[in-house]
Chain A
Amino acid sequence: MNTADLSFAKLDADKLFRRKRLIGFGIPTVIAVYLVYIFFVFDIPGLAQRANFDNAVTLASDSWSHKVHVTRDNRSGEIIYAVEGERKGRYPDGERPDWVSGDEVITIDLGEGHVVRYLPDNRTEIQVPDFPLIKVQAEGRAVTSNLPDDLPSWISASSRRIGITTPEGRITLTGARTEVFNYFPGWELFWFTLDSPYFGHSLPKILFGEQLDPTRSNVAGAVSDWWNNAMWRHKDVAWAIGETILMAFLGTMGAAMIALPLAFMAAKRFSPFMILRAATRRLFDFVRGVDALIWTVVLARAFGPGPLTGTLAILITDTGTFGKIFSEALENVDSKQIEGIASTGAKPLQRYRFGVIPQVVPVLLAQILYFLESNTRSATIIGAITGGGIGLMLTQAIQTQKDWEEVAYYIVLIVVMVMFMDWFSGWLRGKLIGRKD
């Protein structure tokens, strides 16, 4: 190697380094510039104003706790005790929580020295530690109180409505009604509603204790009361999860069954006609390109809301995806096996059955099972659009914006369902193909 070569090589190396450096700095710069552009396009500075952090607090606290409402109707004087203020969560007549006492004067003990008293003639007294006794009188549509003018931040007051938020509970007073919300941790009435005879009994007592309902045996009655729980609707939830899994299963398997013969038509090795091949491939591209969202919208018009619509949307979209994957797998089969089968005098159908299918089945099964899991997630989302399965229940619960504990319950169920399907498809793949990963 002479000096000219050496300097040439040096120059080359320098060029290479310069290019590497350019790429090394260029790509991060492009990404950074893009992120800055997004920062302004998505209006992230304005996000802090638009975000409602009260909602976040409600969401975080309501998802693991529940409240019991004590409501006085100021016109009739009737007092209602209800979990979450729902009709289904009402205490039966003559029963009330044990932190409420008194007949003429109803005393509600919120704990830690916070006491609310419902007095006759729609008067209310609220006792909060380190604060003078608050007296409120409801008259017609207005409320009058002895509150001072400069209020602490936990009290909001106008002539129509007074709201008091304490760490122990919340009190709202209007002309029409006086309400106290007392918060407790946990999901209320998850097992039994208040009208069930099994409410408030421990599991051993239900299993081994005396018969609580004279007409039914304890276990049967408890299971049926839990299953038909009107607040948590365990039966509907189970059906909804079943529907979602059904959509994924039917959609995936149906798509695979339709795609397999079509894939033969699209694979170069098995389809002699160029036009047929091209047409099948364009069909795959088309159904894939139209996307599950548009298919869902279109199919919902024809079939109405429900699991069938979701099934068909998954089926059609995945026919395209499977068709593409399958035909690629078919083009990569080893021709030696097919020749071997042909040498025994096998007819074309037998050649496919014994020469091709055994080669591609592991690939196809792995893909189908992978899609089964991923379609469980898609089915949740499609269900939210078309109205079917657990996706619908979740969107409904979120839209009512108050049953956050139900939302949390559904989310836990969805995550468990998807993880189960993930595990199940992996297990099945291991069993069928004999390879675990």
Chain B
Amino acid sequence: MADISLSAASQNVESIQASYMAQVQRRRLYGGLTLLIFIVLMVSGFNIADARNAGGFWDGIGRVFDYPADVLSEAWEKRADLPGLMAKYFPALVETINIAAVSTLIGAIGGLLLSFLGTRGLAKWPRLIPLFRRISDIMRAVPEIVIALMLIFVMGGGPVPAMIAIAIHTAGALGKMFSEVAENADLKPVEGLASTGATWSQRMLLGVLPQVLPNYVSYTLLRFEINIRASAILGFVGAGGIGYELRNAMAWGPGRFDEAGAIFILLFATIVFFDQVSSRYRNRLTEGQGQ
């Protein structure tokens, strides 16, 4: 009796072990296949990109630092002029930062509305939630450059097209992130306010906003960092600010590299500065959360 059950148990163990090994093997096979497909995709993708590029990877790799070296050495030779040049381009830098700041501000207000209107439990018109979600998806999907170029055609160059373009994208992006936060908001204060006869905007402003504000501000600061980069890039396609000056300075070519160098340094310093400041404040805002 005991023998039988023991042998049955050992058989059982063997079969469990066999099926476990089979499972492990299958997992390894799938993992290996996924890795293989991934490697094939990467290698062939790289080859396609290399073939369709004007200059090849292996020719160019040695020359990557030629241009920065030229710019920096020329800037270093004329280092006495650098402070003057930086002062000259400082207004353009301020314009770039202003574009980013205003568009973040407008975008955050838009994202706030979109998030309240598109979150279950908070929406003023619950039936329109999908509509507002789609609106924020589409606003997020349109790259800034598309709107900026169209607006430049209509309004002419300058900061306003870039501002509108970045604001639209920011509203969509923040709308999604905000609504993820708002979904977790406690609804009891809202109910309490509703029982006192508060209007929808009062419920949002006094019931929901205080709960979500630290996260909202943190996301907005992160977006501000991103938008400084975006506004510099849009300047490069004609929307004013430091990017526009950079394109002009680069078009002059050798001999005027010191101007490009000064702009590089300004842009680098600005991005690093705002990165550090905003990450400090973001850490402080979200401290003690998520525990």
- Chain A interface (Cβ within 8 Å of chain B)? 31, 34-35, 38, 41-44, 47, 50-53, 55-56, 59, 243, 246-247, 249-250, 253-254, 285, 288-294, 297-299, 301-309, 311, 377, 380-381, 384-385, 388, 391, 394-395, 398, 401, 407, 411, 414-415, 418-419, 422, 437
**CB-based nearest A residue for B144:** A381
Interface size on B, residues (CB 8 A): 60
Is the CB–CB distance between B268 and A297 below 8 Å? no
Is the CB–CB distance between B237 and A384 below 8 Å? yes
Is the CB–CB distance between B158 and A304 below 8 Å? no
Is the CB–CB distance between A377 and B143 below 8 Å? yes
Is the CB–CB distance between B268 and A437 below 8 Å? no
Is the CB–CB distance between B50 and A308 below 8 Å? yes
Given A246-B48, A302-B63, A308-B60: 18 more A-B contacts, CB < 8 Å? A42-B160, A47-B158, A50-B155, A52-B154, A52-B156, A59-B153, A246-B49, A253-B42, A293-B243, A293-B246, A304-B55, A306-B52, A306-B53, A308-B53, A385-B233, A394-B146, A414-B143, A415-B142
Known: A31-B105, A302-B55. Contact between A297 and B250, CB under 8 A? yes
CB A244 to nearest CB in B, in angstroms, measures: 10
Residues on the B chain within 8 Å of A247, using CB: 49
Residues on the A chain within 8 Å of B143, using CB: 377, 380-381, 391, 414, 418
B130 at the interface (CB under 8 A from A): no
B275 at the interface (CB under 8 A from A): yes
CB B129 to nearest CB in A, in angstroms, measures: 16
B117 at the interface (CB under 8 A from A): no
B98 at the interface (CB under 8 A from A): yes
Q: Which of B7-15, B19-27, B64-72 contacts A (4 or more CB under 8 A)?
A: B64-72
- A41, B149: Cα distance in complex, Å: 21
Q: In the complex, which of the residues B95, B101, B236 has the most CB atoms of chain A within 10 Å of its own CB atom?
A: B236
Number of A-B residue pairs, CB cutoff 8 Å, is 174
**CB-based nearest A residue for B34:** A432
Is the CB–CB distance between B268 and A246 below 8 Å? no
Contact with A along B217-258 (1 / 0, CB 8 A): 000000000000100110011000001001000100000000
B145 at the interface (CB under 8 A from A): yes
Residues on the B chain within 8 Å of A41, using CB: 95, 98
Is the CB–CB distance between B67 and A302 below 8 Å? yes
Residues on the B chain within 8 Å of A299, using CB: 60, 64
Residues on the B chain within 8 Å of A43, using CB: 158
Is the CB–CB distance between B229 and A291 below 8 Å? yes
Contact of B268 among A243, A254, A294 (CB under 8 A): A294
Q: In the complex, which of the residues A291, A311, A422 has the most CB atoms of chain B within 10 Å of its own CB atom?
A: A291
What are 19 contact pairs spanning A and B, CB under 8 A? A34-B105, A42-B158, A44-B160, A47-B158, A47-B160, A53-B154, A290-B271, A291-B229, A298-B67, A302-B63, A304-B55, A306-B52, A306-B55, A381-B143, A384-B145, A394-B149, A398-B149, A415-B138, A418-B141
Chain A at the B interface: mostly helix, strand, loop or mixed? helix
- A290, B55: Cα distance in complex, Å: 23
CB A50 to nearest CB in B, in angstroms, measures: 5
Is the CB–CB distance between B67 and A301 below 8 Å? yes
**CB-based nearest A residue for B64:** A302
The 5 closest A-B pairs by CB, nearest first: A304-B54, A306-B53, A304-B55, A308-B53, A303-B60
Is the CB–CB distance between A250 and B45 below 8 Å? yes
Is the CB–CB distance between A292 and B233 below 8 Å? yes
Residues on the A chain within 8 Å of B268, using CB: 289-291, 294
Known: A43-B158, A302-B55, A307-B52. Contact between A437 and B137, CB under 8 A? no
B180 at the interface (CB under 8 A from A): yes
- A147, B155: Cα distance in complex, Å: 34
- A209, B175: Cα distance in complex, Å: 51
Is the CB–CB distance between A250 and B68 below 8 Å? no
Is the CB–CB distance between A55 and B275 below 8 Å? no
Is the CB–CB distance between A422 and B137 below 8 Å? yes
- A298, B263: Cα distance in complex, Å: 13
Known: A42-B159, A437-B180. Contact between A250 and B49, CB under 8 A? yes
**CB-based nearest B residue for A385:** B236
Is the CB–CB distance between A304 and B60 below 8 Å? yes
Is the CB–CB distance between A308 and B236 below 8 Å? no
Is the CB–CB distance between B237 and A385 below 8 Å? yes
Is the CB–CB distance between A246 and B45 below 8 Å? yes
B30 at the interface (CB under 8 A from A): no
CB A392 to nearest CB in B, in angstroms, measures: 11
- A381, B246: Cα distance in complex, Å: 16
Residues on the B chain within 8 Å of A302, using CB: 55, 60-61, 63-64, 66-67
- A43, B161: Cα distance in complex, Å: 12
- A20, B140: Cα distance in complex, Å: 35
CB A265 to nearest CB in B, in angstroms, measures: 20
- A395, B239: Cα distance in complex, Å: 14
B57 at the interface (CB under 8 A from A): yes
B187 at the interface (CB under 8 A from A): no
